[in-house]
Amino acid sequence: MKNTDRQHSRDCGHDGGEHADIIIVGGGPVGALAALRFAAAGRRVLLVEARAKDAPLTDARALALSWYSREALLAAGAWPDDLPASMIDSVHVSQQGAFGRTRLDAADLKLPHLGVVVDYPALTLAINARLEQAGVQVWWETRVDAVSSMACYATVKTSGVHGEITLTARLVVLAEGGALADSLPGIKRLTHDYQQCAVLAEVSTEQPPAGVAYERFSKQGPFALLPHGDNYMLVWTRSHDDAKALQQAPDEQVMAELQQAFGERQGKVLSIGPRASFPLALRQVNRVSSGRVVLIGNAAQTMHPVAAQGLNLGLRDAIGLSDALREVCDPGAAAALAVYAASRKLDSHAVVGFTHGLIKLFDGDSALVSALRGVGMSTLDSVPPLRRAFARHLVFGL
């Protein structure tokens, strides 16, 4: 415990037991990046994660990270040279059965790449190794049952391999799925169920990806084709019934449906792997802090996967929080958290509004709506300053 921590504990009547400067709940990429950045700044950090350290990772997701996100993980030491990843050099955006398209290129921003695609298990293993290497204290197999905030510190009630223990910290960072925030004073969550699922599958095509990612607004729902080695990872938004049908249908039927929706930009669809699906909903809190508890990543907002902004926004939360508290003696002070909240409000609201608006904009099938969408995409593509500004916001946020 640093001297400032000891003084703070005496001033607040804390007994100096299981105490950390900052406790982070949730060991996914967002929580882990926050832990690594806080630890590098000299904070005493405890990361609490429900899963076992060596638990098998079966998550089917391929993560599309912006180049800014990749560089942040690299700077934190969580992106080893041998991490298997596929680069995104350009993004091709179009709509089925109508004119208009936009192409975003890394050259527009003078970047080596726009982004990168990495499998969730591979990134998780790399992050876990970095946490251990950096000496970050992690309590694996530990569930957080309750969080509350006092005047001078916050408490975290845990259960698991360490037994039932109440921890304290000057700041608690929630970086888990968001359930713990529902009991915090002043926190309300806006929820919108899209009544849709994201269907994931690996797809091979005649032509290899060559660094091009596709975002296609089809009549059945928007989908992305992300470079994934020599193949693509498909992320297709469908109704619940459609998603179930796609999972159960013969491969040939799904391939034919995808071919019709996508066309032959990459030649013929040659194969498709097993399909997994995840329900989709928008969730956003009205405020990102309550007392000495602050919310980042999925605890603060979850959104539709269109434009692949959710994890990137969460990683920017982690960066913004660690930057806002870098020179602050008491990381849980109301004034410090207010500065953080103000710094992230524009980016968060803009990205959530943008993704939600895209779904609404491309939900209609009328000729007029389709024509307006085409005009918008064509204008964006033909006006370089506008296209560069749009691409910059997707990569770096606001």
Q: pLDDT of 367-378, one tens digit each?
A: 777 777 777 778
390 pLDDT band (50/70/90 cuts)? Answer: confident
Instruction: Write down the pLDDT at residue 60.
Output: 74
Using the structure block, give the residue that is written with the tokens 């929706």.
261
Q: Report d(CA 183, CA 154) in Å as an integer.
A: 14
Average pLDDT over residues 82-96: 93
Using the structure block, give the residue that is written with the tokens 């692949």.
308
Instruction: Write down the pLDDT at residue 12.
Output: 58
Boundaries of every domain in the chain: 3-61+121-190+282-358, 86-115+194-280+364-396
CATH of 86-115+194-280+364-396, one of 3.30.9.10, 3.30.565.10, 3.40.50.10800, 3.40.390.10: 3.30.9.10
Q: How many CA atoms lie within 13 A of 267 on its CB side?
A: 11
Q: Are 395 and 308 in contact (CB under 8 A)?
A: no
- Say yes or no to pLDDT of 31 above 90: yes
Instruction: Write down the pLDDT at residue 6.
Output: 43
362 pLDDT band (50/70/90 cuts)? Answer: low
Q: Are 103 and 93 in contact (CB under 8 A)?
A: yes
Compute CA distances 265 → 105, 208, 273, whole Å: 17, 11, 20
Average pLDDT over residues 350-355: 85
Instruction: Write down the pLDDT at residue 17.
Output: 47
End-to-end CA distance of the chain: 36
**Fold of the CATH domain 3-61+121-190+282-358:** FAD/NAD(P)-binding domain (3.50.50)
Q: Report d(CA 103, CA 211) in Å as an integer.
A: 13
- Say yes or no to pLDDT of 193 above 50: yes
- Say yes or no to pLDDT of 383 above 90: no
Q: How many CA atoms lie within 13 A of 314 on its CB side?
A: 30
Average pLDDT over residues 90-98: 86
- Say yes or no to pLDDT of 8 above 60: no
Average pLDDT over residues 208-230: 92
- Say yes or no to pLDDT of 224 above 70: yes
The set of residues, in sequence order, having a beta carbon less than 8 Å from that of 104 and lying 6+ positions away, is 90, 91, 93, 114, 387, 390, 391, 394
- Say yes or no to pLDDT of 138 above 90: yes
Average pLDDT over residues 353-359: 80
Average pLDDT over residues 380-397: 83
Helix (H, G, I), strand (E, B) or coil at 271: strand
Q: What is the pLDDT of residues 333-347, one digit of tens each?
A: 999 999 999 999 989
Selected residue with higher pLDDT from 167 and 382: 167
- Say yes or no to pLDDT of 363 above 90: no
Other CB atoms within 10 A of residue 258 CB: 22
Instruction: Write down the pLDDT at residue 56.
Output: 85
Using the structure block, give the residue that is written with the tokens 């996100």.
69
Selected residue with higher pLDDT from 153 and 58: 153
Average pLDDT over residues 248-261: 96
Among 148, 152, 141, smallest CA distance to 181 is for 148
Which region among 21-35, 40-54, 236-250, 294-308 has the lowest average model confidence (pLDDT)? Answer: 294-308
Mean pLDDT of the chain: 90
Per CATH, 3-61+121-190+282-358 and 86-115+194-280+364-396 having the same topology is answered no
Average pLDDT over residues 264-284: 94
- Say yes or no to pLDDT of 307 above 80: no
Average pLDDT over residues 245-260: 96
Average pLDDT over residues 255-284: 94
Compute CA distances 12 → 43, 269, 333, 398, whole Å: 19, 64, 13, 38
- Say yes or no to pLDDT of 4 above 60: no
- Say yes or no to pLDDT of 292 above 90: yes
Instruction: Write down the pLDDT at residue 11.
Output: 44
Q: How many CA atoms lie within 13 A of 325 on its CB side?
A: 34
Which region among 34-43, 57-66, 163-172 has the lowest average model confidence (pLDDT)? Answer: 57-66
Other CB atoms within 10 A of residue 165 CB: 14
Using the structure block, give the residue that is written with the tokens 């269907």.
199
